[in-house]
Amino acid sequence: MIDLRPAAVQVLLEELEQLPGVGPRTAVRLAQHLLRQPAGARRLAAALVRAADGVRPCAVCFLPAEEETCSVCRASGRNRGLLCVVEDPINAWSIEATGEFDGLYHVLLGTLDPLHGVGPEQLTVAALVDRVRAEPVQEVILATNPTVEGEATAHFVAGVLKGSGVRVSRIAFGLPAGGEISFADQVTLSRSLMGRQRME
């Protein structure tokens, strides 16, 4: 049997399959799409090279940045007394998109995950402690995900910051706006009931 795929296509497929959520079939579909649109493929390649060469973690908060520090850390008018701690940049992007948060971020670059060999030393916890000491931070909001690992990480970070003099708070959890109670899972519902608020 002859492999009809040219070597360049085989390499492309192998690289695509390395991406999360992309299996062999999806890789073939993506490759087909790219090969049919050479101009689009070149634009994608250029974007990839630019991102790979030009983006690095912000030296202060670890958000992706094209300069030494990110746009949030450089911005004037942000509340520098408020620090939101997230697992990954994507969580910070979501929070920023709400328009409700005007403080600064700190990206942990993961969670405690001993099963996969991730301890505090693989995260940016030490840098967070340094920031809290060096910057005029008054409150740290722990916005890690409500998973076992996210909760444990929040607890760990809260412990590390104990005695630093800053207020440490945990992001609230409850029903999604616009959602229906009947579609919510039991844990979310239970948390919503426990975290109920008085109607003013």
What does the binding site for another protein look like in residue numbers (CB under 8 A)?
112-115, 117, 119-120, 148-149, 151-153, 155-156, 159-160, 185-187, 190
If you search the block for the tokens 């008018």, which residue do you land on?
77
Sign of the dihedral defined by the CA atoms of residues 84, 88, 89, 92, in that order: negative
- Residue 75 or 187 having the CB closest to another protein: 187
Token look-up 């579909």 returns 29
Nearer to another protein, 139 or 151 (CB): 151
- For the chain, the residue count is 200
Looking at the chain, list the stretches that DSSP marks H as alpha helix, in order from N- to C-terminal side. 7-17, 24-36, 38-54, 71-74, 89-98, 125-134, 148-161, 186-194
d(CA 122, CA 109): 8
Query: Could you tell me how far CA 101 lies from the centroid of its own chain?
Result: 16
CB of 122: closest distance to another protein in angstroms?
A: 11
> Whole-number minimum distance, CB 117 to another protein, in Å?
7
Nearer to another protein, 87 or 149 (CB): 149
Q: How far is the CB of 45 from another protein (least distance, A)?
A: 36
Question: Based on CB atoms, which residue is closest to another protein, 54 or 159?
Answer: 159
**Shortest Cβ distance from residue 114 to another protein (Å)?**
4
